[in-house]
Amino acid sequence: MSPIALVAPGPGGWARALEPCGNRPFLAWVLREVARHGVEEVCLPGAPEAVRALPLPRPLRLRTAGEVPPDAPRWQADRLAAPDGTFEIATPPGLARARRELPALALGRRALLLDRDGVLNIDRGYVGSRERWEWMPGAIAALRRATARGWQVFVVTNQSGIARGLYTEADLRALMAWAGGELRAAGALLDDWRFCPYHPEAALPQWRGDHPWRKPRPGMLLDVLACWELDAHRALMVGDAATDLQAAAAAGVRGLRFPGGDLAAFLAAEL
């Protein structure tokens, strides 16, 4: 079962939750924060039809009825607890503050984009399962520090192991879901991730080609920046290969080449 959360109306009700706040209804800000925590499906019992038209950073599955697991996280539709503070709209002063501060906060967020193999995990060659995964020293500590300091964290990774038939998309998604859960348990957030399974010499014909998302092309980075409405000039790309830095430069993002070792120590001056 995919991660699910319950968003229920607070004292202000759904009408207050849908009031404008900057360039989107307040509830849209709540759902953006829900998505940051790895949730893929949101239950909004009794929500009006207008909820389905809300702008989201990525396609969350929304439903208005059905059973919710008892251990699913609970969110209040007119109260947003973000790493940068708590915003509530159940009272007029709270709504006024949220309208004033949230748009500027979103535009000011910094983005840490990471290659995966050789940065987040030890590169053992085509890692597609938990059995072959080993965290890079300092990786969890680095992401925990980034999260605590308000960075949004993303992974952008070429995955030609899929094109070579070594593992499947489902295998990769299961592995990344597990890694995201490990990070959340340690107090870090992996906000989102992108992968490119294409390769010009793929063994599987459906993945054969030079896709615009395959680094050194910048497609994955550009998609993350657009999807989460982030400023390229406030983003940092960390990779272990020249292709990572080339992709960063093409996207207008500053790049750092990680030589290996302890990732937290390497990024100490940046975070």
Q: Name the residues annotated as catalytic.
A: 115, 117
Q: Which two tokens mark 114?
A: 């990471």
Say which residues have a Cβ less than 8 Å from residue 59's Cβ, sequence separation at least 6: none
SS3 for the chain is: CCCEEEEECCCCHHHHHCCEECCEEHHHHHHHHHHHCCCCEEECCCCCHHHHHCCCCCCCEEECCCCCCCCCCEEECCEEEECCEEEECCCHHHHHHHHHHHHHHHHHCCEEEECCECCCECCCCCCCCHHHCCECCCHHHHHHHHHHCCCEEEEEEECHHHHCCCCCHHHHHHHHHHHHHHHHHCCCCCCEEEEECCECCCCCHHHECCCCCCCCCCHHHHHHHHHCCCCHHHEEEEECCHHHHHHHHHCCCEEEECCCCCHHHHCCCCC
